[in-house]
Chains A and B, each alone.
Chain A
Amino acid sequence: MTLSLSPRLRIYTALAATALIGALAFGRPDLAVLATPFVVFLGVAFVGAPLELDGRLELERERVLEGENVRATITVQNRGAPARVEVRPPELERSRTRASPIEWWQPAGEDHAATFELAIERWGLLTVGPVAVRAHDRLAAFTLEGALGGARELRAYPRVDRLQRLVAPLRNRPVLGSQVSRERGEGIEFADLRPLLPGDRVRSINWRASARRGVPYVNVQHPEHSADVVLFLDTFAEAERAEPGTLDAAVHAAAALASTYLTRRDRVALVSFGGVVSWLAGSPGTRQLYRIVDALLASHVKPTFRWTDITHVPGHLLPARAVVLALSPLLDERGIGALLDLRARGYDLIVIEISPLALGDAGSRGLPLRLWRLQREALRARFERLGVPVARWEPPHTDFDLVIEEVIAYRRHARAIPRV
């Protein structure tokens, strides 16, 4: 905390000194009489207990959902002279608060608590505090300013939307799930008829077809399997003019995809691929959703020149049958290179391009922007030639469900070749 002297006290000192010297020099005692109240004021201001404050900051809870409000309470303990205390709302990185500063009069030795309602507008591991405090003594002669309460960590979880439809993988894992597999076996969905073979169950005989053909035929179904899904988050770069940026959109999309796939008993893994590579091994269940959301909180763009390629990701994270859903703004060569590498390795890759153009002046006719758009078109074409769908998402103008529909439509008509 910093203590400062009011500038007016220096002025009063100068005025009083001038008047006293004038009184002496010109033999005018009236000048000394005029100066006396100012000298008394200075004496009173300088005598007395010093200002001393202490405080602690407490949050109503440490975990909130993006868009919710949380109460922060700063308790100020006055260990010095009585003071007029002004407390500003706690600093909250990358979020705004509508709370106003609060002022009160605090007698010596007393505690006073002030509560602020903080609007959490963005997900992430947020640091709340410290709180900026300013205190004046009775005559406002001294001002004590500084930060109180320290910093508290707040985990703001992203909003998790539920998607209407999901992209089916080209191949499923042979574990019971909710997705109708392309393979044939035992299930509910009818697939085909075939002649009875030794070992077939009697109840699978299709009597109508057998009667028509004169030999026993059995029904063959598509089994319900689960899928391996890898959410690939490109965190090399992000475009951000005003919130939300491309990373915010990617995190929301990843949370929505993870939530919806996990309700279908699929196994979902997360790879955050950027300056810092982090991952979460694939697993099914609700607990995995919490793990993924927790891991997403730590997602951030760390600018680096280090070349990171796909070999930095452990092999077991990318099962051969997995569908890799890449959420990328396609801004960094390393991220693009990793995606092309994944496709070259035969993975069932889907690129969801979080368009940075949605954040900028998309209507601009400037030559550099047109060239950049052409480059991006060429990049998309390059992916599509490799059989990789690139669905452009322009948040918040486009709904993410529409992007998924676009991918499904693409895969219906231009099927990628699965890994052999």
Chain B
Amino acid sequence: MAAGLGVAAGLDADGRATVLAGAGAAILLLGLGLSTRRSAAIPVAVLLLGALHLIPDGGRSIDTVIYGSGLLLSAELAYWSIDEHGRRPVEPGVFSPRLLAIVAVVVAGIPASLMVYLAAGVDISRSAASTAAGAAAIVACLTLLAAMARGRFRRD
């Protein structure tokens, strides 16, 4: 999955060789992380793959909608692979719920990303007020997530 993302990033870019080299480095990092079971390598590889998609392009692209979900899928599969390492044989039907849930979230991420993409296309002049509104939206989003997480712990 990560290799596919790397190749996709390389094909679109102007400096194809540089981007492919970067993608190779990200995949190598991910491979090392998986083989040594160090999950710290995964976010670095995800960041690198994300940057490779964005930096050479410089503009707004519809591919990003799929690319973001692809990054999430890569990260989830990588984390899952590390989670499963060393586990004993399990009863049938243990893996499918997680796989289905990941696929469902990844698929649900595509229309959500599309909405953000379309919203980004609305022509709003950059001003202090719009920046403040954007910052407030980010803060609100993170606060909401934090509150939901805290709610889970309070219930348990």
Q: Are A34 and B53 in contact (CB under 8 A)?
A: yes
Q: Give the residue name and chain of the A residue nearest to B47 (CB).
A: A15
**Complex interface: chain A residues within 8 A of B57 (CB):** 30
Binds B, one of A134-142, A225-233, A249-257, A317-325: A134-142
Q: Are A34 and B54 in contact (CB under 8 A)?
A: yes
Give the docked Cα–Cα distance between A50 and B151 (Å): 10
Q: B1: CB under 8 A from chain A?
A: no
Interface size on A, residues (CB 8 A): 55
CB distance from B78 to the nearest CB of A (A): 9
- Which residues 35-71 of B sit at the A interface, judged by CB distance below 8 A? 39, 42-43, 46-47, 50, 53-54, 57, 59-61, 64-65, 67-69, 71
Cross-chain contact of A37 among B47, B83, B112, B148 (Cβ < 8 A): B112
Binds B, one of A18-26, A177-185, A284-292: A18-26
Give the docked Cα–Cα distance between A19 and B68 (Å): 11
CB distance from B155 to the nearest CB of A (A): 5
Q: A100: CB under 8 A from chain B?
A: yes
Contacts known (A24-B134, A144-B156); A37 close to B113, Cβ less than 8 A: yes
**Complex interface: chain A residues within 8 A of B131 (CB):** 24
Q: Are B98 and A138 in contact (CB under 8 A)?
A: yes
Give the docked Cα–Cα distance between A100 and B89 (Å): 9
**Complex interface: chain B residues within 8 A of A21 (CB):** 138
Q: Are B39 and A7 in contact (CB under 8 A)?
A: yes
* Interface flags, A4-18, vs B, CB<8A=1, else 0: 011111011111010
Q: Give the residue name and chain of the B residue nearest to A22 (CB).
A: B54
Binds B, one of A102-110, A238-246, A302-310, A381-389: A102-110
Q: Are B142 and A13 in contact (CB under 8 A)?
A: yes
| A residues apposed to B, CB below 8 Å | 1, 3, 5-9, 11-15, 17, 19-21, 23-24, 27-44, 46-47, 50-52, 82, 84, 100-105, 136, 138-140, 142, 144
- 4 further A-B contacts with Cβ under 8 Å, apart from A27-B126, A50-B155, A104-B94, are A34-B68, A39-B145, A102-B88, A105-B93
CB-CB nearest 10 A-B residue pairs:
A37-B109, A29-B120, A46-B148, A103-B90, A138-B101, A34-B68, A37-B72, A36-B113, A104-B91, A3-B156
| B residues apposed to A, CB below 8 Å | 39, 42-43, 46-47, 50, 53-54, 57, 59-61, 64-65, 67-69, 71-72, 75-76, 79-80, 83, 87-88, 90-91, 93-94, 96-98, 101-102, 105-106, 108-110, 112-113, 115-117, 120, 126, 131, 134-135, 138, 141-142, 145, 148-149, 151-153, 155-156
